[in-house]
Amino acid sequence: MQLPDTLQPYFWDCDFCSLSWEKQRDFIIRRLLRSGSWEALTWLRNKLGDVELGKWIEQQDGAGLSPRQLRFWELMLELPHSKVNQWVGMARQNHWNQRTIP
């Protein structure tokens, strides 16, 4: 399945035409969750459904999302608060994320 052209800006470092949902599903989901616009996230939610997207985030232990992104998805997808707290704690221990925490 070919991805919509509107998603191309999020895959600037890839050969967009060769991306395949079937083959690079996890990569596509992760990239859109981390940096996708509202339009891109709406496409993703329509493609997967909220239940599947929530399961994917749980299977990925927060998918490397920032604390802010984790809290957003916690509310949007009704993710378990205790798990999100763990992921937020792990994200805050990441040295890259600490550059923005006062």
Q: Encode pLDDT of 16-70 as tens digits.
A: 999 999 999 999 999 999 999 999 999 999 999 999 999 999 999 998 899 999 9
Residue 34's H or E segment, with its range, is helix 21-35
Report if residue 4 sits inside a domain.
Answer: no
Residues listed for the chain = 102
Report if residue 35 sits inside a domain.
Answer: yes
Report if residue 60 sits inside a domain.
Answer: yes
Report if residue 74 sits inside a domain.
Answer: yes
Q: What is the pLDDT of residues 77-90, one digit of tens each?
A: 999 999 999 999 98
Report if residue 34 sits inside a domain.
Answer: yes
Report if residue 17 sits inside a domain.
Answer: no
Separation of first and last alpha carbons in the chain: 43
Q: Assign 77 to helix, strand or coil.
A: helix
pTM value is 0.85
Report if residue 1 sits inside a domain.
Answer: no
Number of domains in the chain: 1
Provide the domain limits for residue 54: 24-98
Instruction: Using alpha carbons, list the distances in angstroms from residue 16 to 38, 40, 99, 100.
Output: 20, 15, 31, 31
Angle between helices 38-48 and 21-35 (to 10 degrees): 140
Report if residue 41 sits inside a domain.
Answer: yes
